[in-house]
Amino acid sequence: MKESISASIAAKDEIAKVVLMPGDPLRAKYIAENFLEDAVCYNTVRNIFGYTGMYRGERISVQGTGMGIPSISIYATELMRDYGVRTLIRVGTCGAMNRELDIGDVLIAQGATTDSSLIRNIFGPSINYAPLGDFGLLCKAYTAAGARRIPVKVGNIISVDRFYDDEIDNDKLREYGILAVEMETAALYTLGAKYGAKCLGIFTVSDHLLTGARASAEARQTGFNDMVTVALETAIQ
């Protein structure tokens, strides 16, 4: 039996039942320091920081995951399986690949297409499973964004295995309605379904594959703060 990577990082009562999951551990630290009250760090193992604190009277954890499907799969699996987490919201940046999106926009992933072998490994070659976000969380996120006049888009994204990929057909993906690219959400949605947890991915657009535009430091921070606000408001409803 494989040793749990996270089993030694925290007692079960140190992690809330609702967890925000940024890929970058420093973003976990930023969220804890700027959005949560009385935040306590429960993990520094491998510098993948985890914190638990309070947001508007509700207990929330934020756990860094690292980059890519293998890494988020470790943390998501153990949070749900070993710590009983029931709601997981991924927060991060994405690359827009559709003209509907602009730099700084907030995007909610309704579904997550993937080129990862994850689906084939689980279901075999004959089933093309469709990883979907939790509809209840999606509705809450969309409503929370509207209430705060934060522009938001909803649609399908793609979670890719390679950061640099000259072979992927972005034009074909765009033709079929893919809005943006990132590297983790398909795994989160698939594992959430397995463990009966509610999962959602909320992103801010940091760069645009069509125009070559990139967010300025100010725009990136503003968009990130909007995204985190939507995620936290979703988490406590």
What would the pLDDT profile of 197-213 be if each residue is shown by its tens digit? 999 999 999 999 899 98
pTM, two decimals, is 0.94
Could you give the C-alpha distances from 183 to 1, 45, 113, 212, in angstroms and in order?
Answer: 28, 22, 10, 19
8 Å CB contact between 21 and 90: yes
Q: Is CATH 1.10.357.10 the right assignment for the domain spanning 12-236?
A: no
Q: Percent of the chain beyond pLDDT 90?
A: 83
The per-residue pLDDT of the chain, averaged, comes to 93
Which residue did the predictor score with more confidence, 218 or 177?
A: 177
Q: What is the mean pLDDT of residues 77-83?
A: 96
For 9, the 3-state DSSP assignment is coil
Q: Domain residues of the chain, as ranges?
A: 12-236
8 Å CB contact between 212 and 140: no
pLDDT digits (tens, 9 = 90+) for 81-123: 999 999 999 999 999 999 989 999 999 999 999 999 999 999 9
